[in-house]
Amino acid sequence: MGFTAIEKVLARVSRDEGHRAGVRAGTLVYPEPDMVMIHDGLVIDAKNALDAAGITQIHAPERTMMVSDHDVLYGSERAAQRGAFNRRTAKTWRIQNFYDVGRGGHGHIFPMEDGLVVPGMFYFDNDTHATNAGAVGAFGLRVGGEIARVLATGTTWVPVPQSVRLELRGRLARGVYGRDVGFYLARSVAAGLLPFDLDYRVLEYAGDLDQFGLGARVALCSTATEMRAAGVFVPPSARILDYCKARAKRPLHTVYPDADAHYEASGTIDLAQIGPQVVLPGDVTRATDIGEAVGTAVDHAFIGSCGSGMYDDLLVAASILKGRQLAPGTRLFVVPGSERSTKRLVADGLMQVFLDAGAIVLPAGCGPCNDAVVGPLGSGEVSISTATNNNTGRFGPRDASLFLGSPATVAASAVMGRITDARTMSADAAVLDALETCYA
Amino acid sequence: MPESFWRLRGRCLKLGHDVPHANGIVPLRLITGRENDPAKITPYLFEQIAPGFAAQCKPGDIVVAGRRFGMGPKVPGYIGMRALGLGLVCESMPVQAYRGAIGEGLRVLSPCPGVLDACETGDLLEVDFSTGRFTNETRGTTREFAPLPPELQELVLHGGTAGWLVQWAKTNQPA
Q: Does A145 touch chain B (CB under 8 A)?
A: yes
Q: Provide the shortest C-alpha distance from residue A11 to chain B (in Å).
A: 18
Predicted confidence at residue A424, as pLDDT, reads: 98
User: Which helix H or strand E contains A403, and what residues bound it?
Assistant: strand A401-404
Closest listed residue to residue A404, CA positions, set A277, A227, A279: A279
Report yes or no: A383 and A369 within 8 Å, Cβ to Cβ.
no
Q: What is the pLDDT of residue A21?
A: 87
In angstroms, the CA A3 to CA B3 distance is 39
Contacts of A309 (CB under 8 A, 6+ apart): A105, A106, A108, A109, A218, A335, A336, A337, A338, A341, A364
CB A59 within 8 A of CB A154: yes
Record: contact A53-B168, CB cut-off 8 A? yes
B interface mutation test: which of A27, A29, A55, A285 has the most B CBs within 10 A?
A55
d(CA B63, CA B131): 18
Q: Residue A157 is nearest to which of B96, B152, B170, comparing CB atoms?
A: B152
Chain A interface, best mutation among B75, B92, B99, B166, by max A CB count within 10 A: B99
User: Taking CB atoms and an 8 Å cutoff, what residues of chain B touch A157?
Assistant: 151-152, 155
Asked if residue A235 lies in contact with residue A209, where contact means CB atoms within 8 angstroms, the answer is yes
Interface contact A152-B166, CB threshold 8 A: no
What are the angstrom distances between the C-alpha of B140 and each of A32, A253, B117, B134? 47, 55, 14, 11
Q: B96 and A200: CB-CB below 8 Å?
A: yes
At B171, give phi and psi (nearest 5°): -105, -10
Count CA atoms within 13 Å of residue A152 on its CB side.
30
Residue of A nearest to B152 (CA): A157
Q: Which residues of A touch B103 (CB under 8 A)?
A: 145-146
Are A53 and B174 in contact (CB < 8 Å)? no
Q: What DSSP letter does each residue of A88-112 carry, written as one string?
A: HHHHHTT-SEEE-TTSSB-TTTHHH
Instruction: Provide block-wise average pLDDT over 10 residues at a time, chain A (440 residues).
Output: 97 96 94 98 96 96 97 95 98 97 97 98 97 98 95 97 98 97 98 94 98 97 96 98 97 98 98 98 97 98 98 98 98 98 97 98 96 94 97 92 98 98 97 92
- Whether residue A53 and residue B161 make contact (CB cut-off 8 A), yes or no, is no
How far apart are the CA of B59 and the nearest CA of chain A, in angstroms? 27
Three-state SS for A317-378 is: HHHHHCCCCCCCCCEEEECCCEHHHHHHHHHHCHHHHHHHHCCEECCCCCHHHCCCCCCCCC
Peptide bond into B111 cis (omega under 30): yes
Find the residue in B nearest to A46 (Cα). Answer: B162
Angle between helices A214-226 and A238-247 (to 10 degrees): 100
SS3 A113: helix
Task: Give the number of A-B residue pairs with CB atoms closer than 8 Å.
Answer: 61
With 50 as the cut, is the pLDDT of residue B1 above it? Answer: no
What CA–CA distance (Å, rounded) separates A247 from A175? 30
Residue A97 bridge partners (DSSP): A65
**In chain B, what residues touch A153 (CB-CB under 8 Å)?**
165, 168, 172
Residues of B in contact with A230 (CB under 8 A): 95
Residue A70 CB neighbour total at 10 angstroms: 21
Single-letter code of the amino acid located at B92: S
d(CA B105, CA A299): 46
DSSP secondary structure string, A215-284?
Answer: HHHHHHHHHHHHTT-SEEE-PPPHHHHHHHHHH-SS--------TTB--SEEEEEEGGG---EEEPSB-G
The CB-side HSE value for A162 (13 A sphere, CA atoms) comes to 14
**CA-CA distance, B151 to B164, in Å (whole number)?**
12
CA distance A88 to chain B (A): 21
Put simply, the answer to whether B95 touches A146 (Cβ < 8 Å) is: no
Residue A55 to residue B173, Cβ atoms within 8 A: yes
- Please list the residues that pair with B128 across neighbouring strands: B7, B133
Distance CA B23, CA A72 (A): 33
Gap from B121 CA to chain A (nearest CA, Å): 29
pLDDT category at B3 given cuts 50, 70, 90 is low
Nearest to A152 among B149, B165, B174 (CB): B165
| Binding-site residues on chain B for chain A (CB distance < 8 A) | 71-73, 94-96, 99-100, 103, 149, 151-152, 155, 161-162, 164-166, 168-170, 172-174
Spell out the residues 6+ positions from residue A213 whose beta carbon is closer than 8 angstroms to its own: A239, A240, A312, A435, A436, A438, A439
From the list A28, A53, A143, which residue is nearest B151 (CB)? A28
**Separation in Å, CA A428 to CA A171, A295, A431:** 22, 23, 6
Residues of B in contact with A10 (CB under 8 A): none
The model's pLDDT over B72-128, given as tens digits with 9 standing for 90+, comes to 788 999 999 999 999 999 999 999 999 999 999 999 999 999 999 999 999 999 999
- Residues A155/A161/A166/A172 CA torsion (nearest 10 deg): -30
DSSP B25: T
**Is the pLDDT at B173 greater than 90, yes or no?**
no
- How far is Cα B86 from Cα A284, in angstroms, rounded to an integer? 35
- Above 70 in pLDDT, residue B2? no
Task: Give all strands of the β-sheet with A35-39 in edge-to-edge order.
Answer: A97-99, A64-67, A35-39, A122-125, A139-142
Q: Which of B165, B15, B52, B1 is nearest to A145 (CA)?
A: B165
8-state DSSP, A76: S
pLDDT single digits (tens) B47-72: 999 999 999 999 999 999 999 999 87
The alpha carbon of residue A49 is apart from the nearest alpha carbon of chain B, in Å, by 7
**What's the half-sphere exposure (Cβ side, CA atoms, 13 Å) at A39?**
24
Phi then psi dihedrals of residue B75, to 5 deg: -130, -10
Contact indicator for A150, A33 with CB cutoff of 8 Å: yes
